[in-house]
Structure 1
Amino acid sequence: MELKNYFPGDELVLEDLGDGVKRKITAYHENLMCVEVHFEKGAVGALHSHPHEQITYIVSGEFEFSIGGVKKILKAGDSTFKQPGIEHGAVCLKAGMLLDIFTPCREDFLK
């Protein structure tokens, strides 16, 4: 994986994932990745799990998260931690943006 130190925002792609969800990979290398995820009201981040550790910071909006079967409503300024293998997802209650941090890098996002 090529080592880059700068990721100018105007050069980054906001990828439309469909159903009101868009993703922008903001910076990454082998052991760490930062991703913006934009949600329209009512959009769903389906329940899933992966082998990565993940922190999510709610930049804006309001979301109902489900992590390991426990649901909580979170808003701007709140954050979550997801350990490897735990099932998690979210429903967007008010349009907003999440900042996801993964370790190691989600190489599947780069394909």
Structure 2
Amino acid sequence: MFLQNETRHENNHDTQVDFFEISRQQEKDRINQRDANVIQINQNQAMTSNMSPFEKSQYLLKNNDTQSLNSHTYEQELKSLQQARNRGIISEQDYQKQLIKQNKAPLQQKNQQLNFFAP
């Protein structure tokens, strides 16, 4: 009776899947995506090096580069916090709390990145 159950659930498909090849392809896709991101970041830095913060944000919005725009926004917020602390507008404790709060946001965004995989 045990053998009969096994034969009923037997897979009759001859499809073979090479998981190592799929894994290699996924790793290759991740590397290609990372390289493309680095190239894009370098191009954005070259194009926006002499722009004001407003012009830079407009350029990034125009080119639909949300990753760089988020990075630019994060950088501006950190500068603003540092200036407020240096001018005595906020205390060191408030500065540290805001800094911890700011540092959590990029980690959450990293976890939401697109993953490429082979079907």
TM-score bucket (shorter structure): under 0.3
State TM-score, norm by structure 2: 0.24
Task: Report which of the two has the higher share of strand.
Answer: 1
Relative contact order: is structure 1 or structure 2 higher (C-alpha 8 Å, sep ≥ 6)? 2
TM-score (norm 1): 0.25
Please say which structure displays the higher CA radius of gyration.
2
